[in-house]
Amino acid sequence: MEKLKIFLEQHLALSPKDLLFLDSTFTSIQIPSKTIFIKEDKIVGDVFFLAEGIVRGYTYKDGKLNVEHLIEENNFFTPLESFMNDLPAKNSFETVTPCELYKVAKYDLEILKNSHKKWYEYIALMLNENLQCKITRVNDFQTLTAKERYIKFIEQSPQLALQVSVESVASFLGMEPQSLSRIRKQLTF
């Protein structure tokens, strides 16, 4: 729970009451690598904080892997549409490496949000950042070449580039693994 508290204290002043509430509502989960812990078509009522490890969110469409999310440490995540609208998730989420996560139920998050203006504002900021990430991703697909997307990816997330399979990175960046291999080769010379 310490990593979650340290992360939150970078954004908020946590009172003793806040710390007690976090201890009572966030559940720690240790998950081995290559474990699906959110299944597509299931309604998700939790938000997760990734304290350690890497998670990917993906679907298979026409038998082809489509990675939409690569999540690194110190990030909150959830299948947003499922969480907000009580709809089945469109993605499965799987650990790439062994992971330590903390989860909080929607109900408890609502209590936290309504407990103090600072929590309301922080949760709104978290949701806005998630949406901004999606907008930036769409914009990148529209305006950057495959090579430019890869360069941006390795600059922003070097650990993901090193620890996630070529197939998953290529899918996340909207290209075939062969294309990514070619781009990587060009960049090393």
What CATH number should be reported for the domain holding residue 82? Answer: 2.60.120.10
36-81 pLDDT, tens digit each: 999 999 999 999 999 999 999 999 988 899 999 999 999 999 999 9
Calculate ∠ Cα 99-97-74, nearest 5°: 50
The per-residue pLDDT for 39 is: 96
90 with 182, same domain: the answer is no
Q: What is the mean pLDDT of residues 12-17?
A: 90
127 with 170, same domain: the answer is no
Q: How far apart are alpha carbons 146 and 103 in whole angstroms?
A: 35
Average per-residue pLDDT for the chain: 94
168-177 pLDDT, tens digit each: 999 999 999 9
Q: Is the pLDDT of residue 157 over 80?
A: yes
Give me the number of domains the chain comprises: 2
85-121 pLDDT, tens digit each: 999 999 999 999 999 999 999 999 999 999 989 999 9
Q: What is the mean pLDDT of residues 22-34?
A: 96
28 with 116, same domain: the answer is yes
133 with 164, same domain: the answer is no
Q: Is the pLDDT of residue 22 over 80?
A: yes
74 with 162, same domain: the answer is no
At 36, list the tokens. 């699906």
Closest CA to 68 of 154, 142, 173, 188: 173
pLDDT confidence tier of residue 189, bands split at 50, 70 and 90: low
Contact 92, 36 (CB under 8 A): yes
102 with 16, same domain: the answer is yes
162 with 93, same domain: the answer is no
Q: How far apart are alpha carbons 48 and 117 in whole angstroms?
A: 22
131 with 164, same domain: the answer is no
Q: How far apart are alpha carbons 83 and 88 in whole angstroms?
A: 9
Range of the structural domain that residue 138 is part of: 2-142
12 with 89, same domain: the answer is yes
